[in-house]
Amino acid sequence: MALLESSAIDAPPAAGRQRGSGKGGTGRRAVGARRQDNITAYLMIAPMVILLGIFVMWPLAYSGYLSFFKINYYTGSKFVGLQFYHDVLTSDEFWHSLWIGFYYALLVVPIGIILALLLASFIKTLSKRVAAFMKVTVYLPAVVSTVIASVLFTFMYQDDGVVNWFLSLINLAPVAWLNDPQWALPAIAVPGIWLGFGITTLIVLAAMLDIPDSYYESAMLDGANFRQRLFRITIPLLRNVLLYLIVTGFALAVQMIDLPLIMTGGGPVDATTTPNYYIFSQFRSPDPYSRSYALTASLLLFVVLGLVSIAMFRLIRSDKAVDG
Amino acid sequence: MTRKANPVPTRILRKSASGILVVLISLSILFPLAWMAIAGFKGRTEVLRSPFQFFPDMWRWSNYTSIAKDHEFLRAMIVTFVGALIFTALSLAVNSMAAYAFARLEFRGKRFWWVYCILPMFIPMMAILITSFVVVSKLGMLNTLAVLIIPGVASAIQMFFLRQYYLNFPVAVEEAALIDGASRWQIFARVFLPQSAAPFVVVGLGSYLAYWNAYVWPILVVTDPKLTQIMQFLGNFRSDRGNDWGMLMAGSTLAAIPTIILLLIFQRFIVNGVRISGMK
C-alpha cells in the first residue's frame, strides 16, 4: 500500500494553495501525517458508526441480554443463563435449517454469479442502444418485490402451471415442484436467482467496464480466446467485486425467508425450512418461551454466519488495491 | 466460439446470433413480469384458475382504474417515493464516506471498526427486530418519516460494495493530488466522487429498492395512514380484503412504474470507464 508513504510526503508550501478551512490545512500535515489521517478517517466513518451503534448494535446487545432470561410478563423475568443456547444447539431442527440455508445459498450464489458474468460479458459486446435495453431488462425482476415474485412463481409451478406446460412440450412428465421434497428447494431457488441476478449483472458490468479495453485488445492480438480472456483478465481483475458478491450473496441467501414463507410454508417435510423461516415459525409457535428461543436461535445464526464469512474473507483476500 | 471463416459472414452470423440471444434472454426475464401486468386485468380469482391461462377471458380495466383513482394509493406512492429518494441520498453520503476511509486511509483501530461496520450484514432481521422497535419507540420516533428512513441509512452491504470499488481506484491519481497539497476530503470530493457515477447508480438503486420494497419494518413502526408505505398498501389486498389477486397484480404493476422510469434515466451511467487516469 503506497498510501501510507504518500501521506507522509512533505506537503508543499501552503502559500500557493490557501484554503480557509482549519481542519484540512496542509501545513500541519508535515508535522503529524498519521494523526491527520486518524482524525479525517474517524470523521468519515463517524456517521456510519453512530447510526449502526444506535440502530443495530444497541438492539443487538439488548437482544443478547434478553436471551439470558425467561421472560414472563405476569410473574417477572427469571435469569436462566445459557439455557436457551443449550436448547437451540441441541435441537436437530436448528441444524437442519442451517443445512437447508447453506444448500439454498450453494444453489443461488454460484449460479447467480456465473449467469451475471456471462450476461455482463454479452452486454458489453452489444451496441449502445441494445445494451441500454438489456441493462434495464435484466434489472426489472429486482423491481418486483419478493412477495410478488413468490406469488408469480407459485402460480407458475402449479401442477398445470406454465412450467409443467413447457415440460409437456418437450415430452417430459410433470413435476409437483413445490410438493416434492427433492424439488422444492431448487424450485424456490429459481425465483431467488431471478430476483437477484439483475443487480449482480449490473455490478459485474460496472466493474467490467472499468477494465481498460487495451488489456483485451493485446490479449486478442496474442490469440487469447474468450475463455482465456475471462479467466486470465476479467476474473482476476474483478476479484474485489467478486469477493463482495460471494460474501453478501451468501449472507443474504442463508437469511432468505420470504420465498419459503409464501411459496412452501417451509415444507414439504421441512425441505425448505431456511434458518430464518425456522426462527420465524418458532417465534409464532404457542409454546412457552418460544420467543426467547427464537431470539436465541437468531443470535446463534448470526454467530454462524459471521464465522463462515470470516473464513471467506480469509480465503479471498482483497485488502489491497489490485494494482497495488 | 471464434470461427476462422472469412470475416464478412462471421460478422453477420455473430450479429444475428447476438440478436437472437437478446430476444431470448429478455423474453425469459420479462415473461413473469408480463404475466403480472396481464394478471392485473383479471378478476379476483381468475388469476388462480387452472389450467394455466396467460390472457384474461375479458380485458377489464377496472382493477387499474380503481387503483389509479384511489387517493390512498397515490398518497402511498408519493410518500414512499419521497422517502426512498431521501433515504437513497443519505445512505450514499454516509456509506461512501465510510467506504473511502476503509479503502484508502490508514488509521488506528481500522480493523476493529471495519469488523464493526461489516458485521450488521450477518445479523438476521429477527435477532434485532423487536429490540429495534423498543429502541425507536424509546427515542420517540414511532410514526414519523424519520423512523422509516434513519435506521436503515447505514448499510454494511452498500458500504462494503463501495469500498471494494474504491480499492480498484488508481493510486497514482490520489498520490498526485496529495503531493499537490489536497486534503483527503478534497480528494474524496474531487477525485473519487466524480468517478463514482456507476457504483453510485448500482448502490443507489439497491437502496431505493430496499426502501421501496420494505414491508415488515413499516408495518411495525407506522400506523399513521398518512405515512402508509406502498408495500403496506399492497399488502392490504392479501389480508384485509381477502386476497384480491387481480388488484394486487394491477397495484404491483403500477407501483413498479416509478422505479422503471428511474432505471431508464440512470442506466446510462453504467457505461465504459471514464477514469481520468487512463490506467488501472
Q: Each residue of B191-247: pLDDT tens digit?
A: 888 888 888 998 899 899 999 988 889 988 998 888 999 888 888 777 655 677 888
Residue A324 lies in a domain: no
Rounded to whole angstroms, the Cα distance separating A190 from A41 reads 42
What the block records as the C-alpha cell of B121 is 450484514
Instruction: Tell whether B175 is within 8 A of chain A (Cβ).
Output: yes
Identify whether residues A47 and A156 lie together within a single domain. Answer: no
pLDDT tens digit sequence for A177-208: 888 888 899 999 999 998 888 889 988 988 88
Rounded to whole angstroms, the Cα distance separating B242 from B245 reads 9
pLDDT band at B69 (very low <50, low <70, confident <90, very high): confident
Nearest CA in chain B to A194: B29
pLDDT band at B92 (very low <50, low <70, confident <90, very high): very high
Rg (CA), chain B: 24
Q: Which residues of A180-218 are buried (b: 16+ CB within 10 A; e: fewer)?
A: eeebbbbbbbbbbbbbbbbbbbbbbbbbbbbbbeeeeee
Kindly state the average pLDDT of the residues B4-12: 66
Kindly state the average pLDDT of the residues B33-44: 83
Tell me how crowded residue A285 is: count the other CB atoms within 10 A of its CB.
Answer: 12
Chain B residues in contact with A257 (beta carbon < 8 A)? 125
pLDDT of residue B118: 92
Task: Specify whether the CB–CB gap between A96 and A107 falls below 8 A.
Answer: no
Kindly state the average pLDDT of the residues A224-242: 85
pLDDT of residue A23: 39
| Residue finishing a domain among A66, A97, A120 | A66
pLDDT band at A83 (very low <50, low <70, confident <90, very high): confident
Identify whether residues A200 and A302 lie together within a single domain. Answer: yes
pLDDT of residue A243: 87
Kindly state the average pLDDT of the residues A123-127: 85
**Residue A274 burial class via C-beta count within 10 angstroms: exposed 0-12, middle 13-18, buried 19 and up:** buried
Give the count of domains, chain A: 2
pLDDT of residue A148: 78
Residue A227 lies in a domain: yes
Mutation pick from A45, A85, A136, A162 vs chain B, by most beta carbons of B within 10 Å, is: A45
Residue A72 lies in a domain: no
Task: Specify whether the CB–CB gap between A184 and A271 falls below 8 A.
Answer: yes
The residue to which cell 384458475 is assigned: B49
Q: Report whether pLDDT(B79) > 50.
A: yes
Task: Specify whether the CB–CB gap between B258 and B272 falls below 8 A.
Answer: no
Residue A33 CB contacts under 8 Å (≥ 6 apart), including other chains: A7, A8
pLDDT of residue B52: 64
Q: How far is B111 from chain A (nearest CA, A)?
A: 11
pLDDT tens digit sequence for B161-175: 999 888 878 788 888
Residue A303 lies in a domain: yes
* B136, B152, B161 member nearest A244 (Cβ): B161
Residue A295 lies in a domain: yes
Contact B205 A320 (CB under 8 A): no
Nearest CA in chain A to B266: A136
Contact B167 A240 (CB under 8 A): yes
* A37, A58, A155 member nearest B184 (Cβ): A37
Residue A323 lies in a domain: no
Residue A71 lies in a domain: no
Q: Report whether pLDDT(A14) > 60.
A: no
- Strands (E) across chain A are located at 69-70, 78-79
Q: What percent of chain B has pLDDT over 70?
A: 90
The residue to which cell 484508502 is assigned: B104
Nearest CA in chain B to A321: B167
Residue-averaged pLDDT of chain B: 85
Identify whether residues A146 and A246 lie together within a single domain. Answer: yes
What the block records as the C-alpha cell of A152 is 408469480
Instruction: Tell whether A146 is within 8 A of chain B (Cβ).
Output: yes
Instruction: Tell whether A167 is within 8 A of chain B (Cβ).
Output: no
pLDDT of residue A19: 38
pLDDT of residue A321: 43
| Residue finishing a domain among A33, A66, A99 | A66
Q: What distance separates the 2 farthest-apart alpha carbons in chain B?
A: 74
Nearest CA in chain A to B26: A137
Rounded to whole angstroms, the Cα distance separating B96 from B86 reads 15
pLDDT of residue A4: 34
What does each C-alpha distance from A122 to A119, A141, B19, B61 come to in angstroms? Answer: 5, 19, 11, 39
Identify whether residues A30 and A109 lie together within a single domain. Answer: no
pLDDT band at A216 (very low <50, low <70, confident <90, very high): confident
Chain B residues in contact with A23 (beta carbon < 8 A)? 183
Q: How far is A305 from chain B (nearest CA, A)?
A: 6
Q: How far is B244 from chain A (nearest CA, A)?
A: 12
Rounded to whole angstroms, the Cα distance separating B193 from B200 reads 9
Rg (CA), chain A: 26
Chain A residues in contact with B2 (beta carbon < 8 A)? 225-226
Identify whether residues A37 and A149 lie together within a single domain. Answer: no
Identify whether residues A163 and A303 lie together within a single domain. Answer: yes
Q: What percent of chain A has pLDDT over 90?
A: 24
Instruction: Tell whether A24 is within 8 A of chain B (Cβ).
Output: yes
pLDDT of residue A65: 92
Identify whether residues A20 and A109 lie together within a single domain. Answer: no
The residue to which cell 428447494 is assigned: A185
Residue A70 CB contacts under 8 Å (≥ 6 apart), including other chains: A77, A78, A80, A83, A289, A292
Rounded to whole angstroms, the Cα distance separating B134 from A304 reads 26
pLDDT of residue B149: 94
Return the CATH number of B69-269, one of 3.30.2320.20, 1.10.3720.10, 3.30.230.70, 3.50.50.60: 1.10.3720.10
Identify whether residues A22 and A118 lie together within a single domain. Answer: no
Kindly state the average pLDDT of the residues A15-43: 53
Peptide bond into A110 cis (omega under 30): no
DSSP H helices, A126-180, are 128-143, 146-156, 162-169
The residue to which cell 498519521 is assigned: A34
Kindly state the average pLDDT of the residues A126-150: 84
First to last CA, chain A: 6
Nearest CA in chain B to A25: B183
pLDDT of residue A155: 80
Residue A182 lies in a domain: yes
Kindly state the average pLDDT of the residues B182-196: 87
What does each C-alpha distance from A199 to A214, B138, B211 come to in angstroms? Answer: 27, 36, 16
Rounded to whole angstroms, the Cα distance separating A105 from A192 reads 10
pLDDT band at B274 (very low <50, low <70, confident <90, very high): very low
pLDDT of residue A172: 79
Tell me if the pTM is above 0.80: yes
**Residue B198 burial class via C-beta count within 10 angstroms: exposed 0-12, middle 13-18, buried 19 and up:** buried
First to last CA, chain B: 29
Identify whether residues A10 and A145 lie together within a single domain. Answer: no
Instruction: Tell whether A137 is within 8 A of chain B (Cβ).
Output: yes
Instruction: Tell whether A56 is within 8 A of chain B (Cβ).
Output: yes
Contact B135 A122 (CB under 8 A): no
Contact A60 B102 (CB under 8 A): no
What the block records as the C-alpha cell of B35 is 404475466
> Residue A28 gets which letter from DSSP?
G
Kindly state the average pLDDT of the residues B238-259: 80
Instruction: Tell whether B112 is within 8 A of chain A (Cβ).
Output: no
Task: Specify whether the CB–CB gap between A206 and A125 falls below 8 A.
Answer: no
| Residue finishing a domain among A66, A91, A118 | A66
Q: Report whether pLDDT(B89) > 50.
A: yes
* Ranges A28-32, A240-244, B113-117, B180-184: which has the least confidence: A28-32
Mutation pick from B1, B105, B249 vs chain A, by most beta carbons of A within 10 Å, is: B105
**Residue A32 burial class via C-beta count within 10 angstroms: exposed 0-12, middle 13-18, buried 19 and up:** exposed
Kindly state the average pLDDT of the residues A262-285: 86
Nearest of A134, A197, A193, A112 to residue B22 by alpha carbon: A134
The residue to which cell 422510469 is assigned: B261
pLDDT of residue B1: 47
Rounded to whole angstroms, the Cα distance separating A137 from A122 reads 14
Identify whether residues A186 and A243 lie together within a single domain. Answer: yes
pLDDT of residue B33: 84
Identify whether residues A209 and A287 lie together within a single domain. Answer: yes
* B29, B128, B174 member nearest A63 (Cβ): B128
pLDDT band at A315 (very low <50, low <70, confident <90, very high): confident
Give the range of the structural domain holding residue A147, as residue numbers without chain letter. Answer: 83-315
What's the CATH number where A102 sits? 1.10.3720.10
DSSP H helices, chain B, are 7-39, 62-69, 71-104, 110-118, 125-138, 145-153, 156-167, 171-179, 184-187, 197-212, 216-221, 230-235, 245-266
What the block records as the C-alpha cell of A289 is 418461551
Identify whether residues A251 and A102 lie together within a single domain. Answer: yes
pLDDT tens digit sequence for A245-273: 998 999 999 999 888 888 888 778 888 89
Chain B residues in contact with A169 (beta carbon < 8 A)? none
